[in-house]
Structures are given as C-alpha cells and as structure tokens.
Structure 1
Amino acid sequence: MVRAVWKASYEIGHPRIDGEHRIFLDLILQIERDLTEGRPFERVQRHLIELYKYADFHFFSEESLMVEVDYPDLIPHRRTHQLLLEDLASYTRSLSVASLRDRDLVGFLIEWFAFHTAGDDLRLASYVRQERTSS
C-alpha cells in the first residue's frame, strides 16, 4: 500500500534541493516497505534514524543556499528546521513495537515531509529564482 508518491507540488525549482527532497521521499518509502513487509522493529528504527540524519543534513544544505543568496528569512526558516527535527525526534522516540501497529507512522512522515516542502521551501525557491533573474 504505497501512499507516498512524488508530486510536482513538492518541487521548488532548485535542482539540488529537489533532488534532496526526492531522497527524503525515498527514505519514507523504505520505511513504508519495512512496515508493509513486517520487517523487524530494529530495521524500521534504523531507517528512522537514517531519515533523521538525512533531514539534519538536508536542512543544513538548504540553510547554506540561503546564506549564499542572502535570504532575508534565514533565521525563521532555520527555526522551522529546528522545530521539524525536534518533532521528528520526539515522534520516533515514542515508538515501540506495539505502537507501530497503532500509529500511522507513514502518514505522519508524509505529512511532516509535505509541511516542510509546501510552505517555507516554496518561498525560498521563489526568492532564489528572483535573485537569479535580477543578477
């Protein structure tokens, strides 16, 4: 039951960031496969840790782009990244073997991912495009 698919609405128009977003989604799909195939809890946990570490890298990558283009909303965007990481860490720490059956982990991850890409990243993309055309 694959609910997570790449959507054009996830694209922000920056090749590197869009590529990183695709990796994000691929990691979520891996977790979904783990759950669907009844893989051991430890494997799901390991993939969740990988997702967290990748998110941390990706957010740093985005913030580097913001510094390069002198993005005026860097500080609030960085704070959003911090809150997203805290939210992901808190949610995944609360998981256990039993709760994997009771919670919609993949639904949470897709919503978490979509929130990240749909709002602040689209504003960043618009700013980057504007900067490129005015340069």
Structure 2
Amino acid sequence: MGKFVWTAQLEIGIDVIDKQHRRIVEYINQLDDARSSGHPREEIGRVVSELVDYTLSHFAFEESMQEEAGYPFLKAHKKVHDLFAQRVSEYQARFLRGEDVSRELNSLLVTWLFNHIKRDDADYVESVQSNLQRQNDFVEKKKGFFSRLFK
C-alpha cells in the first residue's frame, strides 16, 4: 500500500488533535512496515494493539473536547467512533484466530482516517476552537487581574 503521508491538508487547526492524528498515521505506517517487511506475527499483533489503544484514547479525548465545547453533534460523532472501533475489533478477533488481516486492516485505516478527518472532524473544529479561545481569554483575564494584586 505504501506510506500514509501526513500533509497540511489533513490538519484541522487544533494542535493537540493534529498531533494525535499524526501519531495515528505513524502507527499505521508501522503496521505497513511490519507487514511488508515480513515481521513476525507477534510484532504485527503488538503494533495493531498499540494502534487500537491509542486510537480509542484519541477518540475519548476528542469527544471530551467536543462535550466541553457544547458541540451539538457529539452523539453522532461518538456513534461514528463507536462503529469504527467495533469494526477494528472484528479485525483484531480475526487476527487472533490466525487470519492475516494486516493488509486489509491497513487499507481500512488509511481510508477511514483520511475521510474521518476531512469530513467528521472538520465539522467540530469551529465549536472546539471557539471554546478553547474562550478558555484562553478567561485565563489571560485572570492573570491580569491577579498580577495587579501582587505588585
């Protein structure tokens, strides 16, 4: 399949989320490397496990940011995450039964992540960025207020 190359086109503009997405891309590339280099099955299994664990943590983090921002489509976004997690767990189960699903899984991950970032994630950016800006403004305001108390 080849390397999944991170491009600016995939950046949503929320640094912490972009970094997490880049990390998922790194895991996808590790899976492709392990698969195409003929690494032992245990190595492929380790990469798949780490990739899934990291991705599920990312989903939880992303959902918490959306909830905090009052994103109106959080339930729908969470449903997309849940369906994807279920699909990936089916691949993991097949892998544990001895099937070689690494090529198929790698292809699914690349396609799904790209489309998810461009469509689903792009939808919540405005809500989350507005919330982050409000939090920033609040902190800056408080800093200014308290600094006068200690002069």
**Range of TM-score over shorter length:** 0.7 to 0.9
Distance 2:45 2:108 in 1: 15
In structure 1, what is the equivalent of residue 63 of structure 2? 63
Cα distance 1:40–1:122, how it changes in 2: closer, same or farther (>3 A)?
same
Distance 1:88 1:24 in 2: 14
Counterpart contact for 1:30–1:47, Cα < 8 Å: yes
Q: Structure 2: give runs of 5+ residues left out of the alignment.
A: 138-151
Distance 2:48 2:91 in 1: 10
Give 3-state SS (helix, strand or coil) of 1:104's partner. helix
- Normalised to the residue count of structure 2, the TM-score between the two structures is 0.78
1:14 Cα offset (Å): 0.3
Distance 2:22 2:71 in 1: 23
Distance 1:5 1:97 in 2: 29
In structure 2, what is the equivalent of residue 51 of structure 1? 51
Q: Structure 1: give runs of 5+ residues left out of the alignment.
A: none
CA offsets, 1:62-114, max 9 Å, x none?
A: 0111112111111111111111111111123223655348x433212201221
Counterpart contact for 1:41–1:97, Cα < 8 Å: no
In structure 2, what is the equivalent of residue 125 of structure 1? 125
Q: Flag the structure with larger Rg.
A: 2
Cα distance 1:67–1:98, how it changes in 2: closer, same or farther (>3 A)?
closer
Give 3-state SS (helix, strand or coil) of 1:4's partner. coil
Counterpart contact for 1:6–1:25, Cα < 8 Å: yes
By relative contact order (CA 8 Å, sep 6+), the higher-ranking structure is 1
What is the identity percentage for the equivalent residue pairs of Structure 1 and Structure 2? 31
Alignment-mate amino acid for residue 67 of structure 1: E
Counterpart contact for 1:24–1:55, Cα < 8 Å: yes
Report runs of 4+ in structure 1 exceeding 4 Å deviation.
130-135
- Normalised to the residue count of structure 1, the TM-score between the two structures is 0.86
1:36 Cα offset (Å): 1.8
1:37 Cα offset (Å): 1.3
CA RMSD of aligned residues (A): 2.2
